[in-house]
Amino acid sequence: MGTPLTNWFKQRGIDWKQALAGHMETDMQMLPLFPVLEINKITSSFVQWLFTPTTNSDKHKDLYISATRLSSQELNDNTDLAAQQTQRERFNINILPVLANNHENSVFYQLDLEEVAKAFATHSLPLPPALPDTKNTFNAISDAMFRCKTNQLLNKPWQQDEAKAFSLLKEAIINIEASQPVNPKLALKADQIVWGRCPVRMDLAGGWTDTPPHCMLNGGSAVNIAIELNGQAPIQCFAKPCPEHKIILRSIDLGSEEHLFTYNDIEQYSKVGSAFSIPRAALALSGFSPVFGNHTFDSLAEQLKNFGSGLEITTLCAVPKGSGLGTSSILSATILGTLSEACNLGWDKIEIGKKALAIEQLLTTGGGWQDQFGGVLEGVKFLTTQRGFDQTPLVRWISDKVLETGMLKQRMLLYYTGITRVAKNILSEIVRGMFLNSAKRLAILNEIEEHALYTFEELQKGNDKNLGNILNKSWKLNQLLDPGTNTPEIQVIIDRVAPYIDGLKLLGAGGGGFMVMLAKDAQAAATLKEDLAQFPPNPLARFVEFSISRQGLMVTKS
């Protein structure tokens, strides 16, 4: 209790020498300190008196002095440890429904709900009433996923509960944008073109902590770099007026084109297989949808007539799908930035990044915020957010000199593995664990967050000697969170490059895409490039030149 034993007796008016007569020379472990009482005499006030003496405590003092007392050693010798453990487990199981039903005043939804679901399923405990969606959104989300997990373990229908959890998260994020409707106004002359271009993101540490719901429950941290590939910002968007009252979408890299005539056409952004889901969602958030628009037009044609023209939007994504460079989120941000300029919306880079997070939810891909902010915001930076639905990041810039000068620039290599893995499938499984407060996953996420802070501090000091270890630690943590991130095909490449490098990591969610490597020295880098160029692991694998972007997202008019 943090109090010397003699003080404990003195505070309760007990002569300790008398109370411990015959045991004065005994080790503390052997002192008879703990009273043995009939259960009806163990009152809450007596237990409280043991911890905090009260003014009216004579009866408790007399009860203590007159009781048979045992030492710690005697308690240990007389305890049936197996029975105690069984009792403890029974109490733990029996208290769970009580905690659930009293969730407003208990810690039920802060527990490891993955383990709680196993207990409910194993012991056939009755599920508590479902939480309403309107009270505490975080608890309602956790409740839905807890039900999903319990029913899944019981081989009962569970898909509806899982869909509800993801839907509640989606609605909470999207409602922020819906509560701030916009009214686009044409800001272009008939012959003008808006050109938006953005670098991609190289993540060094902190990945996954930026992903909802984790970032909204705990905040997130990430260290990343905005990079250009082969001297260019690879994500680009062009917008210009169209004389007809419609919206034309084109993709240079996909060779596709679609024409949108109605609000319904725009709102098909969650349509599976559509090549233009991202532009559709960006248009909706830019006010070309009644959901997010501050207007009362009956149709898109009427809105465009009032707008003054249609729009022709062309995108270019000069990065392979599944690259791990944050391509889809950065494309969202680039289109949003272009539309902001074309439609006089006045969004800054932070606002654009936050709206790109909403697009992830509209598309049901569920990604986080570090991809778009990693590309939109220039240079090397440490991004952190606080708990809550407002995920506005605090940006702390890091000097890029440590990465851009001398030998290190020659040693840092970007390699496209030629292997792709779609992040949405990876995200879903890990996000389920976030919903359930999975202790195992949360411990890893906490370590990832601590590693991001450590990375920031090391780069701030200009300590380039530790960069290899930083990359290796990030890669190790990603594998702990998602073992599937390191496929057999990826391991073959890692085994080949291992003798030449100090560290590496796959970028993004992993499983394929780009890999950043830090060669041991300039000669090792040259040898590595020559070897992999002569004997690539697959026909698509290749090295790509990169440089740190000092502009981030740029949007200009002709």
**Where is 146: in which H helix or E strand?**
helix 137-153
Neighbours of 191 (CB within 10 A): 8
Sheet order of strands, 412-416 included: 501-506, 514-519, 412-416, 542-543
Burial class, 240, CB count within 10 angstroms (exposed 0-12 / middle 13-18 / buried 19+) = buried
Q: In which residue are the tokens 């594998």 written?
A: 479
Q: Phi first, then psi: give them for residue 489, nearest 5 degrees.
A: -65, -40
Pairing of β 200-205 and β 514-519: unpaired
Helix, strand, or coil here: 226? strand
- 226 and 371 fall within a common domain: yes
Domain closes at, from 78, 109, 127: 78
Is 158 a domain residue?
yes
CB 512 within 8 A of CB 417: yes
- 215 and 329 fall within a common domain: yes
Is 27 a domain residue?
yes
pLDDT digits (tens, 9 = 90+) for 293-345: 998 899 999 999 999 999 999 999 999 888 999 999 999 999 999 999 999 99
Q: What is residue 369's predicted lDDT score, i.e. its pLDDT?
A: 96
Angle, CA 99 vertex, CA 95 and CA 101 arms, to 5°? 120
Confidence of residue 282 (pLDDT cuts 50, 70, 90): very high
- 249 and 344 fall within a common domain: yes
Is 186 a domain residue?
no
| pLDDT, average across residues 121-134 | 90
- 464 and 438 fall within a common domain: yes
Domain closes at, from 38, 56, 78: 78
Is 239 a domain residue?
yes
For 220-349, where are the E strands, in sequence order?
Answer: 220-229, 235-242, 247-251, 256-260, 310-317
Q: From residue 106, give the alpha-carbon distance in Å to each of 29, 98, 101, 116, 371.
A: 36, 9, 9, 14, 36
pLDDT digits (tens, 9 = 90+) for 1-54: 677 888 888 888 888 888 888 777 668 888 889 999 998 889 988 888 888 877
Interatomic CA distance for residues 504 and 473, integer angstroms: 9
- 485 and 412 fall within a common domain: yes
Is 505 a domain residue?
yes
- 391 and 417 fall within a common domain: no
Domain count, the chain: 4
Report the percent of the chain where pLDDT is more than 90. 72
379: closest CA among 358, 398, 404?
A: 398
- 230 and 352 fall within a common domain: yes
- 298 and 409 fall within a common domain: no
CB 230 within 8 A of CB 543: no
Residue type, 125: L
Residues, the chain, total? 558
Angle, CA 201 vertex, CA 198 and CA 205 arms, to 5°? 155
List, in order, residues 6 or more apart from 246 with CB less than 8 Å away.
259, 260, 261, 300, 301, 304, 310
Handedness of CA 387, 393, 394, 396 (dihedral sign): positive
Interatomic CA distance for residues 443 and 129, integer angstroms: 30
- CATH number, position 498: 3.30.70.890
Is 315 a domain residue?
yes
Confidence of residue 55 (pLDDT cuts 50, 70, 90): low
376: closest CA among 194, 196, 552?
A: 552
Read off the tokens for 80.
């049936």
Q: Where are the alpha helices (DSSP H) in 260-326?
A: 263-266, 277-285, 300-307
Domain closes at, from 146, 178, 210: 178
Is 189 a domain residue?
no
Q: From residue 125, give the alpha-carbon distance in Å to each of 85, 150, 229, 473, 537.
A: 20, 10, 56, 41, 53
Helix, strand, or coil here: 548? strand
506: closest CA among 320, 323, 318, 235?
A: 323
- 46 and 98 fall within a common domain: no
- 131 and 149 fall within a common domain: yes
Is 188 a domain residue?
no
Handedness of CA 355, 395, 215, 365 (dihedral sign): positive
pLDDT digits (tens, 9 = 90+) for 192-244: 999 999 999 999 999 999 999 999 999 999 999 999 999 999 999 999 999 99
Residue-number span of the structural domain to which 460 is assigned = 403-548
- 408 and 448 fall within a common domain: yes
- CATH number, position 268: 3.30.230.10
What is the rounded (10 degree) CA torsion for 488, 491, 493, 497?
-170
pLDDT digits (tens, 9 = 90+) for 534-551: 999 999 999 999 999 999
Q: Is the full-model pTM beyond 0.75?
A: yes
- 173 and 207 fall within a common domain: no
